[in-house]
Amino acid sequence: MKTDRLMLWSGVAAAAGSLCGCASKTAVATDKPLNIVYIMTDDHTAQMMSCYDKRYASTPNLDRLANEGVRFTNSFVANSLSGPSRACMVTGMHSCGNGFYDNTNCVFDNTQRTMPKMLQSAGYQTALVGKWHLESLPTGFDYWEILPGQGSYYNPDFITMQQDTIVESGYLTSIITDKSIEWLENGRDKDKPFMLMVHHKALHRNWMCDTCNLRLYEDKTFPLPDNFFDDYEGRPAAAAQEMSIMKDMDVIYDLKMRGDDRHSRLSGGYEGILGRLNAEQRKAWDDFYNPVIEDFYSRNLEGQELAEWKFNRYMRDYMKTLKSLDDEVGRLLDYLEENDLLDNTLVVYASDQGFYMGEHGWFDKRFMYEESMHTPLVMRLPKGYERRGDVEELVQNIDYAPTFLEIAGVEVPEDMHGVSLLPLLRGEHPSEWRDALYYHFYEYPAEHMVKRHYGVRTDRWKLIHFYNDIDHWELYDLQNDPSEMHNLYGEEKYADTVQMLKARLLALQEQYNDPIRFEME
Ligand code: SGN
Ligand code: CA
């Protein structure tokens, strides 16, 4: 057995060498296969991560990952929604290739090829803790413990490998970290390399922080983004959404202002969530919120004042929830460091998509517009990878699977849509790197009512086609209009640009074999 293992590892190193070409010396500098820790949060957007944006939050532990490695400045998702993003991530395929199109109608076909299965077959120990959201049970993992659906912030249920549902006491972000560290310490075979996926529920709606953080940031106020009162001129799909902070963000469910009306879906949902808190947690919660609630209902805010109040409560709740996340990522990093694992481990931090923090007046995601197509991606690099600073190439979440495969010395299948990021981590700038990204969002009609659309994004341009119960094109010049307020589609002087982008879009739809495509005129 032992001999087999040793043979396998030398095989891994040799395979890595052959794949990595002349830079392979760095990739296998330690002569041991590299481990992978993949930390994914939910709805964490780059505007709220200080290594990307210093206006709002401070995230020293997440920033540490970037400082000891790289920050991807052009990192995007293929379909800005949880389940689809996770499916893209584990398969390295666009939604049309993995069959998981949306959260409402799909069950992930867990018999299909996935990166965890391939790593497991190559001798890696594989583990998954936290939000999964793919409806079928995880396959390809030696250990998993997942949340049912979206999970709960307090005293959460977990589904175990024995398919029992267990209840854990405490705050979810800490519990997921505890379970991850426990597996690293006692659950795995320490003679084998590992790939651990730590999937947080934080910072998903309704942004409930740990009781110890309830009183943070109460003295901070945030100005509304410039385009908060967007009128969506020239953008009918943007006008039709239901994700407006003013209209759709619920003061009870989202902003915790318990009032007399407890009968809506959302306020009823909040009562159910509060019912999970134990007496001590509930006391801390009510002690903090009761005076805020009283003050809110006594003021009868309207218009601009109500907008500012809602936006500020949203920002604070999000940041308080983020505080635990940043602390807990720090705790996991400390564990890796104290156990001499950092030198030999690639630590990746990503979100399942970006999020709106009031831009266009919104929360949520889904749209191909920048705030939600973009996603944070930082990587702490193992010894031997000297690249530091920003990686500016266009990358997408379909690239994570091939990256992890290549790092493990496993051959990346020819038909995988994503491409390995390893050359970028080695400091190369391949001249043939992709110049355009494909995007396709399907979940409609559904919550938030974002219409179906696909599109192409280059470093300068974005072309979007909204379809289904609408037939509407949008063109943005990201250099001159980074907030995507001016739809240029139909303007004569951009006709050539539109033709060029349409050809590029169709080529991508053909390349990825997307059955839903348009016809060139
Ligand atoms: C829930 C939320 C939505 C959110 C989806 C998808 N509503 O349904 O606001 O867009 O999740 O989010 S809630 O009333 O239940 O909070 S995803 O990140 O899992 O795709
Ligand atoms: Ca999400």
Q: pLDDT tens digit string along 270-301? A: 999 999 999 999 999 999 999 999 999 999 99
More confident residue, 166 or 29: 166
State the pLDDT at residue 300: 96
pLDDT tier for residue 390 given thresholds of 50, 70 and 90: very high
> pLDDT at residue 232 above 80?
yes
- Give the C-alpha distances (Å, rounded to integers) separating 282 from 272, 288, 316: 13, 10, 19
Ligand sitting nearest the alpha carbon of 205: 1
- Which residue spans within 375-460 are E strands per DSSP? 377-380, 389-391, 395-396, 437-441, 453-457
State the pLDDT at residue 468: 98
Q: pLDDT tens digit string along 151-169? A: 999 999 999 999 999 999 9
Ligand sitting nearest the alpha carbon of 134: 1
Ligand 1 atom nearest 82 alpha carbon: 20
> pLDDT at residue 135 above 50?
yes
> What integer is the mean pLDDT of 262-275?
86
State the pLDDT at residue 49: 98
State the pLDDT at residue 194: 98
Q: Which residues pair with 453 in a beta bridge?
A: 441, 466
> pLDDT at residue 6 above 80?
no
How far is residue 487's CA from residue 234's CA, in Å, rounded to a whole number?
6
Q: pLDDT tens digit string along 318-374? A: 999 999 999 999 999 999 999 999 999 999 999 999 999 999 999 999 999 999 999
The share of the chain scoring above pLDDT 90, in percent, equals 92
Compute the distance from residue 195 Cα to the ligand 2 centre, in Å: 22
Compute the distance from residue 245 Cα to the ligand 1 centre, in Å: 14
CB-defined site of ligand 1, < 6 Å: 42-43, 81-82, 103, 150, 204-206, 352, 364, 447-448
Q: Among 152, 204, 255, 365, which residue has the most ligand 1 atoms within 8 Å of its CB, making it the best to mutate?
A: 204
> What integer is the mean pLDDT of 191-195?
98
Asked if residue 436 lies in contact with residue 508, where contact means CB atoms within 8 angstroms, the answer is yes
Ligand 1 atom nearest 364 alpha carbon: 10
> What integer is the mean pLDDT of 373-378?
98
State the pLDDT at residue 102: 98
pLDDT tier for residue 266 given thresholds of 50, 70 and 90: confident
Which tokens go with 136?
Answer: 């079928």
Q: pLDDT tens digit string along 208-223? A: 999 999 999 999 999 9
> pLDDT at residue 16 above 90?
no
pLDDT tier for residue 80 given thresholds of 50, 70 and 90: very high
> What integer is the mean pLDDT of 365-385?
98
How far is residue 336's CA from residue 29's CA, in Å, rounded to a whole number?
19
pLDDT tier for residue 31 given thresholds of 50, 70 and 90: low
More confident residue, 513 or 5: 513
Per-chain mean pLDDT for the chain: 94
Nearest CA to ligand 1 atom 7: 205
> pLDDT at residue 9 above 80?
no
Asked if residue 420 lies in contact with residue 399, where contact means CB atoms within 8 angstroms, the answer is yes
Helix (H, G, I), strand (E, B) or coil at 434: coil
pLDDT tier for residue 24 given thresholds of 50, 70 and 90: very low
Which tokens go with 118?
Answer: 């391939």
How far is residue 505's CA from residue 269's CA, in Å, rounded to a whole number?
41
CA torsion 371-303-239-484 (nearest 10°) is -40
> pLDDT at residue 11 above 80?
no
State the pLDDT at residue 202: 98
Burial class (CB in 10 A: 0-12, 13-18, 19+), 348: buried
Asked if residue 325 lies in contact with residue 176, where contact means CB atoms within 8 angstroms, the answer is no
Ligand sitting nearest the alpha carbon of 132: 1
The share of the chain scoring above pLDDT 70, in percent, equals 93
Ligand 1 atom nearest 265 alpha carbon: 14
Ligand 1 atom nearest 266 alpha carbon: 14
Tell me the CA end-to-end span of the chain in Å, nearest whole number.
62
